[in-house]
Amino acid sequence: MTVQYNWSFRNGANGFAIGGGTPSATATHTIRHNAAWNNDGHGFVDEGNTAALTVGNNTSYRNRGLGFSIGTAPATLRYNVAAGNTQGDQGLAGAVKQTHNSWQGEAATFRSADPQVAEGARTADGALPSTTFLATANGAGASMTG
């Protein structure tokens, strides 16, 4: 399954749970161009999923957990951005391949840290609003153009 161009904010749990259940799901996923901010849990978490994950160009900002919590899945993480998460940018274990992520020293400066437009109404056709919130100048992280 591919999950792309979605936003998760102000939830009482994790932003994007890429697995979970009892027993935990084992499913390959591609997660790209998503943003998670101000959630009570992690921004992105595998929740015990042991299948391969491709996680690219996502942004985790000011979540109460980790930005990216990938503890069991063999995963490839590239061009992701994590900033201001209470428990840190990432918690990675196992067979994780990573390149060009913000916690690896790749600078990612947000054009705006004000969520007002992003948290506003959708466009007339139901699309996400275009915003500079969490957008970066270097192309890393989520595309916030709606």
Q: Which tens digit of pLDDT belongs to each residue from 38-75?
A: 999 999 999 999 999 999 999 999 999 999 999 999 99
Contact criterion met (CB below 8 Å) for 75 and 55: yes
pLDDT-based confidence at 106, cuts 50/70/90?
confident
Across 18-113, the runs of DSSP E, i.e. the strands, are 29-32, 35-37, 44-45, 53-56, 59-61, 68-70, 75-78, 81-83, 90-92, 96-99
Name the residue with tokens 């595309």. Answer: 143
Q: Does the pLDDT value for residue 146 go beyond 70?
A: no
Q: Does the pLDDT value for residue 28 go beyond 70?
A: yes
Q: List, edge to edge, every strand of the sheet that includes 81-83.
A: 7-9, 35-37, 59-61, 81-83
Note the pLDDT of residue 111: 94
Number of separate domains in the chain:
1
Q: Is residue 63 part of a domain?
A: yes
Contact criterion met (CB below 8 Å) for 74 and 95: yes
Q: Is residue 129 part of a domain?
A: no
* Rounded distance between C-alpha atoms, residue 37 and residue 110, angstroms: 13
Q: Is residue 118 part of a domain?
A: no
* Mean pLDDT, residues 114-129: 91
Q: Is residue 59 part of a domain?
A: yes
Q: Is residue 49 part of a domain?
A: yes
Q: Is residue 88 part of a domain?
A: yes
Q: Is residue 110 part of a domain?
A: no
Q: Is residue 35 part of a domain?
A: yes
Residue 104 DSSP symbol: G
Prediction pTM value: 0.95
* Rounded distance between C-alpha atoms, residue 1 and residue 15, angstroms: 17
* Of residues 41, 40, 85, 88, the one with CA closest to residue 61: 85
Q: Which domain holds residue 18?
A: 2-104
